[in-house]
A and B are shown apart, each in its own frame.
Chain A
Amino acid sequence: MKYDLEVGDPRTVARVINMAHRFQCRATRVDSHSTAELTKAHFEFAGDTAQLERLRAQIDRIVQFEKIFVS
Chain B
Amino acid sequence: MIPAISPRPRTGGDAVLEALEREGVDVIFGYPGGTIMPFYDALYGHPMRHILVRHEAGAAFAAGGYARTSGRVGVCCATSGPGATNLVTGLVDAMMDSIPLVAITGQVRTALMGTDGFQEADVCAITQCTTKASLLVTDPAQIYTKVREAFALARSGRPGPVLVDIPTDVLKAPYVPEQSAPRKTRDVRPVASRESIVAAADAIRTAHRPVAIAGGGVRDPKAVAAFREFCALLGLPHTTTICGLGASDPNDVHGLGMLGMHGTKAANLTVHTADVVLAFGMRFDDRVTGRPDRFAKDATIVHCDIDATEFNKIIPTRVPMHGDAGETIKSIVAELKTAHLPRFDDWAVQAKALGGPLPSDDAKDGHLSATDFLDQLVAALPPKSIVCTDVGQHQMWAAQRVKPNTPRDFCTSAGLGSMGFGFPSAIGACFANPGRPVFAIVGDGGFQMTMPELATVKRYQVPVKIVLIDNRNLGMVRQWQELFYDERYSATNLSDNPDFCTIASAYDIESFRISGPEDAPSTLKAFLEYSGPALLHVSCYPDELVWPMIPSGGVVEDLMESKA
Q: How many residues of A contact B (CB 8 A)?
A: 20
B188 touches A69 (CB 8 A): no
A68 touches B309 (CB 8 A): no
Q: Is B525 an interface residue (CB 8 A)?
A: no
Q: In the bound complex, what is the Cα–Cα distance between A15 and B132 (angstroms)?
A: 11
Q: Is B185 an interface residue (CB 8 A)?
A: yes
A69 touches B149 (CB 8 A): yes
Q: How many residues of B contact A (CB 8 A)?
A: 23
A68 touches B128 (CB 8 A): no
B132 touches A70 (CB 8 A): no
Which chain A positions have C-beta within 8 A of B312? 53
Q: Is A71 an interface residue (CB 8 A)?
A: yes
Q: Is B152 an interface residue (CB 8 A)?
A: yes
Which chain B positions have C-beta within 8 A of A53? 312
B133, B184, B308, most chain A CB atoms within 10 A: B133
Q: Is A44 an interface residue (CB 8 A)?
A: no
Within 14-71 of A, Cβ neighbours of B (below 8 Å) are at: 14-15, 18-19, 22, 53-54, 57-58, 60-61, 64-65, 67-71
Grouping DSSP codes into helix (H, G, I), strand (E, B) and loop, the B interface class, with mixed when no group exceeds half, is loop
Which chain A positions have C-beta within 8 A of B496? none
What is the minimal beta-carbon distance from B399 to any residue of chain A, in angstroms? 29
B184 touches A69 (CB 8 A): yes
A60 touches B188 (CB 8 A): no
B157 touches A64 (CB 8 A): yes
Q: In the bound complex, what is the Cα–Cα distance between A70 and B186 (angstroms)?
A: 7
Q: Which residue of B lies closest to A71 (CB)?
A: B183
Q: Which residue of A lies closest to B160 (CB)?
A: A65
B152 touches A60 (CB 8 A): no
A69 touches B308 (CB 8 A): no
Q: Is B279 an interface residue (CB 8 A)?
A: no
B185 touches A68 (CB 8 A): yes
Q: Which residue of A lies closest to B152 (CB)?
A: A68
User: Of the candidates A9, A57, A65, A68, which one forms a contact with B308 in the assembled complex, judged by CB atoms under 8 Å apart?
Assistant: A57
Given contacts A65-B153, A68-B186, A70-B184, whether A15 and B128 have CB atoms under 8 Å apart is yes
Which chain A positions have C-beta within 8 A of B183? 69-71
Which chain A positions have C-beta within 8 A of B313? 54, 57
User: Of the candidates A14, A18, A61, A70, which one forms a contact with B185 in the assembled complex, judged by CB atoms under 8 Å apart?
Assistant: A70
A54 touches B309 (CB 8 A): yes
What is the minimal beta-carbon distance from B160 to any residue of chain A, in angstroms? 9
Q: In the bound complex, what is the Cα–Cα distance between A46 and B487 (angstroms)?
A: 43
Which chain B positions have C-beta within 8 A of A15? 128-129
Which chain A positions have C-beta within 8 A of B311? 57
Q: In the bound complex, what is the Cα–Cα distance between A22 and B128 (angstroms)?
A: 14
Which chain A positions have C-beta within 8 A of B529? none
What is the minimal beta-carbon distance from A25 to any residue of chain B, in angstroms? 15
Which chain B positions have C-beta within 8 A of A65? 132-133, 153
Q: Is B307 an interface residue (CB 8 A)?
A: yes
Instruction: Give 14 CB contacts A-B under 8 Å.
Output: A11-B128, A14-B128, A15-B129, A19-B129, A22-B129, A57-B309, A58-B309, A61-B309, A68-B156, A68-B157, A68-B187, A69-B183, A69-B184, A70-B183
Q: Chain A: residues with CB nearer than 8 A to chain B?
A: 9, 11, 14-15, 18-19, 22, 53-54, 57-58, 60-61, 64-65, 67-71
A-B interface, 8 closest residue pairs, ranked by CB to CB distance from nearest = A57-B309, A69-B183, A68-B156, A70-B184, A61-B309, A68-B185, A15-B128, A68-B188
Q: Chain B: residues with CB nearer than 8 A to chain A?
A: 124-125, 128-129, 132-133, 149, 152-153, 156-157, 183-188, 307-309, 311-313
Knowing that A15-B128, A60-B309, A61-B309 touch, tell me 16 more A-B residue pairs with CB under 8 angstroms.
A11-B125, A19-B129, A22-B129, A54-B309, A54-B313, A57-B313, A61-B308, A64-B157, A64-B188, A65-B133, A68-B156, A68-B185, A68-B187, A68-B188, A69-B152, A70-B185
